[in-house]
Amino acid sequence: MKTKYPFINLEYSEVSQDEMIERSECFYRKMRERRTVRDLSNKIVPMSIIENVIATAGTAPSGANMQPWQFIVVTNSVLKNKIRVEAEKEEKEFYEHRASQEWLDALAPLATDQDKPFLEVAPILIVIFLKKFSYTSEGKRLKNYYTSESVGIATGLLITALHNAGLVTLTHTPSPMKFLNTLLDRPKEERPYMIVVAGYPAQNAEVPDIVKRDISDILTLID
């Protein structure tokens, strides 16, 4: 049994309701501009931004505060090329054999395919691994809890922080992604969760003209 953490006073300063409304509207306006961008430029991104956004992701809540995530930042061209080659192999298999017709039909409007040039062009790949176990300083293995929920929340914060910083992202999930353990030398109990590709948009980048469901459609209020 672990000893209880000492409890400390919460740092919290209440703001007025008007201020809260203003802030929530303002943040919604900001987040509404976020788009998944597949046309990325190779313009370099300062590493301090990447450190800040990963630190932000690391503030996410997690099951028993186990923080079951690891963020691997890849900037090296040779490694990015290897990731692209391996991801494209998986994607070719997906588009030509593994995906059901229903899945291909759902994807068709987005015009995605097995070519993933952004994995090589973008200055930054953040490869997120989900850790099923943690290790104490004595090397004792501890189980982590609610790992996909926890890593999902952290990834959401990461994408939000990158958008807030003024960069664009692409969430990429080649499947299966086991090749990432080999290329990035991660232990087998870490599961590749997602690649967040980050950078500036290419000049004249285009995005599909999709819309998000209206609030009236996604919100059910039970009084």
Per CB under 6 A, the list member of 56, 70, 75, 112 interacting with ligand IYR is 112
∠ CA(210), CA(56), CA(148), 5° rounding? 65
Residue 220 CB, shortest distance to ligand IYR, in Å, is 25
Shorter beta-carbon distance to ligand IYR: residue 62 or 194: 194
Question: Binding mask 76-105 vs ligand IYR (x if CB under 6 A, - otherwise)?
Answer: ---------------x--x-----------
CB of 125 within 8 A of CB of 197? yes
Shorter beta-carbon distance to ligand IYR: residue 22 or 206: 206
Shorter beta-carbon distance to ligand IYR: residue 111 or 219: 111
Shorter beta-carbon distance to ligand IYR: residue 119 or 161: 119
3-class DSSP state for residue 166?
Answer: coil
CB of 208 within 8 A of CB of 152? no
Shorter beta-carbon distance to ligand IYR: residue 26 or 104: 104
State how far the alpha carbon of 162 is from the alpha carbons of 2, 12, 65, 211, in Å. Answer: 36, 25, 23, 21
CB of 41 within 8 A of CB of 199? yes
Stretch that binds ligand IYR, among 24-32, 75-83, 141-149, 168-176 (CB under 6 A): 168-176
Per CB under 6 A, the list member of 84, 131, 172, 191 interacting with ligand IYR is 172
CB of 126 within 8 A of CB of 196? yes
Stretch that binds ligand IYR, among 66-74, 120-128, 144-152, 169-177 (CB under 6 A): 169-177
Per CB under 6 A, the list member of 98, 173, 176, 182 interacting with ligand IYR is 173
Identify whether 109 is preceded by a cis peptide bond (ω within 30 of 0): no
Size of the site for ligand IYR (CB under 6 A): 8
CB of 206 within 8 A of CB of 177? no
Residue 33 CB, shortest distance to ligand IYR, in Å, is 20
Length in residues, the chain: 223
Cα gap 170→202, rounded to integer Å: 13
Cα gap 67→44, rounded to integer Å: 29
Residue 177 CB, shortest distance to ligand IYR, in Å, is 10
Binding site for ligand IYR (CB under 6 A): 91, 94, 107, 112, 172-175
